Chain A
């Protein structure tokens, strides 16, 4: 029974959380677009290369010539950060993509493969979810070795179990629908049903979830690089730049602070877009 509230009625639930101002959403989209452009064409933003050093201008503070200062080898931090967008965005997006693909196969197999397959796959998912994501990622890096490819796979694997659950849940709902029963009744093959009827109808919530995860994936990938397991110096990957810059925190804070700042901006923009997509999709499904 709903008792009328004494308080002033509030906004409907889905609009209340998270609070996102409209200009914030547009700003997030523009920022993300700028970073994508920087990743494709870094020369549009900076004239110097990521490894062009000038040993006469080491550890220069941010100023007119060098907006973000220079590092211990006289390399322009702004140029390095711009060129680094390519690594961080590509690794994050690729990891999310690979995670989604593995999880789609995994989740659909669990939902449609019968009780035994479902139990086996979902108990495995439980085990993977029981382990801390970073530990899972570290175990993958053990197999692949250090480097960009290893880190991409590591982030993909640590994101996969969460995706797989979403897809299985959605696929179970779709399976109970009339058109799937009809297809089964008509004797259509299982994998065909999965590919033709179930997959398209699980995609929307999956893509929303992937958008939400994109920011987390970018952050996790640079964390692994920061730990020395991903891109190696002199690659201008943001996490790797932070490791290099940390040795100079006392003299030149800008080497480590700016790559991290851009990382925060990208992750923030991706999170804002992801949450917006999630709020909209929740509204569509539930209201």
Chain B
């Protein structure tokens, strides 16, 4: 094998293993659920006779031995077929693609606002004066300890019900996106600021900062152009975690603000025991996680050129 291919192949293998593991875990969980899955399919239509039940069992392959069902499930998953929703009478794939749009919009805006806010706060509070840092630290601690659903309710109470600045529910108006984005972004920004500032303060003590200062760089340029780049490496490591919290955050935020999206679909699927949809969401999350990890590896070497050389040497 060519030395350059090896790390890539190993990564691909790891990615496939994670997705396979997640899909297997989801399958296992669904086997453990007590009760007849047909109940979930027929739902509240209790007037379904034994013959129809038998027919449904056969149609969804529920009579096969578990291992055969597992192989069948994995085979379909490998070819991208996620099956049909029990409740929504449409393929899981189209349920997800229909609903993923609003969630992605919400998540991207939240991520962007969080990063901008965190970078701005870090740069402002990393100066020589201690009190801005203390105030900001305290605020971060409070925000990190605030459950997002309560934050959302508080924002709704103040800005929608009392001040009337933003609509109470999703009306398609761009203003209805503001409060959900803030709810999702603030906790991320708080954690990000803590990590960024810690990294920035460490980087500011490094020899290259002394060199930059000796060359006559202004203080803001030293911080924003030289030190911030170093500080962003540990923050990047957290990005995978942020993406994970985004789905959880979407479930909460979409519930608080009565928005449609993948979070609501997930919660509804759990409440209705709509197993194919749950499996689809789990598979989707695993794929997103793997994709984000791969993207991060690329980003690392963009931010830190030393890593490029190091992997080159390791492969040789």
- Let me know if A271 is at the binding interface, CB within 8 A: yes
Binary interface encoding of chain B residues 139-150 relative to chain A, with 1 for a CB under 8 A from any of its CBs, else 0: 001101111111
Known: A7-B128, A131-B282, A142-B270. A272 touches B141 (CB 8 A): yes
Chain B residues within an 8 Å CB radius of A13: 202
Assess whether A263 is in contact with B150, with CB atoms less than 8 Å apart. Answer: yes
The docked-state distance in angstroms from the alpha carbon of A249 to that of B150 is 12
Assess whether B29 is in contact with A271, with CB atoms less than 8 Å apart. Answer: no
Chain A residues within an 8 Å CB radius of B93: none
Chain A residues within an 8 Å CB radius of B144: 271
User: 19 new A-B pairs (CB below 8 Å) besides A140-B29, A227-B267?
Assistant: A5-B210, A127-B17, A130-B22, A131-B285, A135-B282, A139-B26, A139-B29, A223-B252, A226-B252, A227-B255, A242-B149, A249-B157, A256-B150, A257-B157, A260-B154, A264-B145, A267-B147, A268-B145, A271-B141
Assess whether B251 is in contact with A6, with CB atoms less than 8 Å apart. Answer: no
- Let me know if B236 is at the binding interface, CB within 8 A: no
- Let me know if A123 is at the binding interface, CB within 8 A: yes
Assess whether A143 is in contact with B150, with CB atoms less than 8 Å apart. Answer: no
The docked-state distance in angstroms from the alpha carbon of A285 to that of B215 is 39
Question: What's the least CB distance linking A162 to chain B, in Å?
Answer: 10
- Let me know if A215 is at the binding interface, CB within 8 A: yes
Assess whether B29 is in contact with A142, with CB atoms less than 8 Å apart. Answer: yes
Question: What's the least CB distance linking A233 to chain B, in Å?
Answer: 16
25 contacts between A and B (CB under 8 A): A6-B210, A10-B201, A19-B137, A130-B18, A130-B285, A130-B286, A131-B244, A131-B282, A132-B247, A132-B285, A134-B252, A138-B267, A138-B270, A139-B278, A142-B30, A227-B251, A229-B270, A249-B157, A249-B161, A253-B162, A256-B150, A263-B150, A264-B146, A271-B144, A272-B141
The docked-state distance in angstroms from the alpha carbon of A272 to that of B142 is 10
Question: What's the least CB distance linking A24 to chain B, in Å?
Answer: 8
Known: A17-B194, A142-B270, A215-B145. A131 touches B289 (CB 8 A): yes
Size band of the interface chain A makes with B: 35 or more
Chain B residues within an 8 Å CB radius of A134: 247-248, 251-252
Contact of B161 among A3, A228, A250 (CB under 8 A): A250
Question: What's the least CB distance linking A56 to chain B, in Å?
Answer: 25
Question: What's the least CB distance linking A51 to chain B, in Å?
Answer: 23
Chain A residues within an 8 Å CB radius of B146: 264, 267
Known: A18-B194, A143-B29, A264-B146. A124 touches B247 (CB 8 A): no
Question: What's the least CB distance linking A116 to chain B, in Å?
Answer: 15
Chain B residues within an 8 Å CB radius of A115: none
Interface set, chain B 163-201, CB cutoff 8 A to A: 194, 197-198, 201
Assess whether B244 is in contact with A5, with CB atoms less than 8 Å apart. Answer: no
Question: What's the least CB distance linking B188 to chain A, in Å?
Answer: 14
- Let me know if A108 is at the binding interface, CB within 8 A: no
- Let me know if B138 is at the binding interface, CB within 8 A: yes
Chain A residues within an 8 Å CB radius of B232: none
Contact of B150 among A135, A228, A264 (CB under 8 A): A264
Chain A residues within an 8 Å CB radius of B271: 228-229
Contact of A3 among B34, B153, B207 (CB under 8 A): B207
Assess whether B161 is in contact with A253, with CB atoms less than 8 Å apart. Answer: yes
- Let me know if B33 is at the binding interface, CB within 8 A: yes
- Closest A residue to B248 using CB positions: A134
- Let me know if A246 is at the binding interface, CB within 8 A: yes
- Let me know if B266 is at the binding interface, CB within 8 A: yes
Top 6 A-B pairs ranked by shortest CB distance?
Answer: A134-B248, A260-B150, A127-B21, A268-B145, A132-B244, A267-B145
Interface set, chain A 157-173, CB cutoff 8 A to B: none
- Closest A residue to B23 using CB positions: A127
Assess whether B289 is in contact with A130, with CB atoms less than 8 Å apart. Answer: yes
Contact of A19 among B138, B247, B256, B267 (CB under 8 A): B138
- Let me know if B221 is at the binding interface, CB within 8 A: no
Interface set, chain B 110-151, CB cutoff 8 A to A: 128, 133-134, 137-138, 141-142, 144-150
Known: A249-B156, A268-B142. A135 touches B247 (CB 8 A): yes
The docked-state distance in angstroms from the alpha carbon of A245 to that of B256 is 12
Known: A142-B29, A267-B145. A246 touches B273 (CB 8 A): no
- Let me know if B5 is at the binding interface, CB within 8 A: no
- Let me know if A36 is at the binding interface, CB within 8 A: no
Interface set, chain A 1-25, CB cutoff 8 A to B: 1, 3, 5-8, 10, 13, 16-19
- Let me know if A32 is at the binding interface, CB within 8 A: no
- Let me know if A128 is at the binding interface, CB within 8 A: yes
Assess whether B266 is in contact with A135, with CB atoms less than 8 Å apart. Answer: yes
Highest count of chain A CB atoms <10 Å: which of B25, B29, B128, B149:
B149
Chain A residues within an 8 Å CB radius of B149: 223, 226, 239, 242, 260
- Let me know if A141 is at the binding interface, CB within 8 A: yes
Assess whether A142 is in contact with B244, with CB atoms less than 8 Å apart. Answer: no
Highest count of chain B CB atoms <10 Å: which of A130, A242, A267, A268:
A130
- Let me know if A148 is at the binding interface, CB within 8 A: no
- Closest A residue to B209 using CB positions: A5
- Let me know if B76 is at the binding interface, CB within 8 A: no
Question: What's the least CB distance linking A131 to chain B, in Å?
Answer: 6
Interface set, chain A 190-238, CB cutoff 8 A to B: 215, 219, 222-223, 226-229
